[in-house]
Amino acid sequence: MSIPLYKPLNTLKKIDDNVWIVDAGLIRMSVSVLKVPFSTRMTIVKLNDSTLWVHSPVAPDEGLFREIDALGKVGHLVSPNKIHYAYIADWKARYPDAKTWASPGVDERAASQNIHVVFEHALKDSAPPDWSVDIDQLIFKGSRALEEVVFFHKESRTLILTDLIENFEPDRTKSPMWRSVYKAAGIAHPDGKTPIDMRMTFAGQKDQARACYKRMLEWQPEKIILAHGKWYEENGTEELKRAFRWLD
């Protein structure tokens, strides 16, 4: 494998009370003329009402479904941004009673990709009553291309991000080409950040982003879960300050 995966794959990994991650296989995203390989990760939170909140579902896997069924009832399937939605239709087929939640622009994106998924609810700039006791949220604004909804699990002080920070490990990446790409994009551990192409979409509108960043800092996270690359098990607030210094 040319880039690191975070094995074991497709199994629940408990990281705190009522919070689990699932590391999954590779996807390839088109970035300019490249098909860039990404490791993938989803997050599951057990809410106060004992239902499960599923963030950025990964490719369906029967063994994983059995583990999740033993954990509780899936109540929510969440698309955090418009490029993290592809498997929600599969999960909805497996869990038809779960509510599906749309990030800004995801309906249009899915239609443009000829992917049929019905989103029943829209994510807003504050948490809905369904999970506001457990999770806070905001829409990270300022980008002309992609608005991401970020989440904060209050009890564990865990910030849940998707693409606003990516953190690939060059020392575990066999391909010299991908090591160079990750470093050039500013997404190489230990200095993972918002990818440079995404940062450029905030030009002229960084004030909006700074306001959102300030709100995230006020949460004082201890952990930061990322969808791609090595996540932060400790020192979350300091990592947040480091990763978003491009807003200075």
Average pLDDT for 145-167: 98
Residue 113 pLDDT grade (very low, low, confident, very high; cuts 50, 70, 90): confident
7-50: per-residue pLDDT in tens?
999 999 999 999 999 999 988 776 656 677 889 999 999 999 99
Q: What is the mean pLDDT of residues 224-243?
A: 98
pLDDT at residue 181 is higher than 90: no
The answer to whether residue 2 is domain-embedded is no
Q: Give pLDDT, residue 33.
A: 62
Query: Does 87 have pLDDT greater than 90?
Result: yes
* Per-residue pLDDT at 170 exceeds 90: yes
Does 23 map to a domain? Answer: yes
Q: What is the pLDDT of residues 199-222, one digit of tens each?
A: 999 999 999 999 999 999 999 999
Q: Is residue 8 part of a domain?
A: no
Please check the confidence at residue 4 and state whether its pLDDT lies above 90. Answer: no
Range(s) of the domain holding residue 211: 13-247
CATH number reported for the structural domain that contains residue 171 in this entry: 3.60.15.10
Query: Lowest mean pLDDT: which of 74-88, 149-163, 171-185?
Result: 171-185
Question: Is 61 domain-assigned?
Answer: yes
> Domain for residue 88, yes or no?
yes
Q: Does a structural domain hold residue 1? A: no
Give the 3-state DSSP-derived string for the chain, with helices as H, strands as E and coil as C.
CCCCCCCCCCCCEEEECCEEEEEEEEEEEEECCEEEEEEEEEEEEECCCCEEEEECCCCCCHHHHHHHHHHCEEEEEECCCCCCCCCHHHHHHHCCCCEEEECCCHHHHHHHCCCCCCCCEECCCCCCCCCCCCEEEEEECCCCCCCEEEEEECCCCEEECCCCCEEECHHHCCCHHHHHHHHHCCCECCCCECCHHHHHHHCCCHHHHHHHHHHHHHHCCCEEECCCECCECCCHHHHHHHHCHHHC
Q: According to the model, what pLDDT value does residue 34 have?
A: 67
Q: Where residue 94 falls among pLDDT bands split at 50, 70, 90?
A: very high
Residue 219 lies in a domain: yes
For 135-147, how does the pLDDT look when each residue is reduced to its tens digit (9 = 90+)? 999 999 999 999 9
Whether residue 4 is contained in a domain is answered as no
Structurally, the chain folds into a number of domains equal to: 1
What pLDDT does 32 receive? 59
Q: What is the mean pLDDT of residues 71-80?
A: 98
The mean pLDDT value for 104-125 works out to: 93
pLDDT recorded at residue 27: 82
pLDDT over 60 at 1, yes or no: no
> What is the arithmetic mean of pLDDT over 82-108?
96
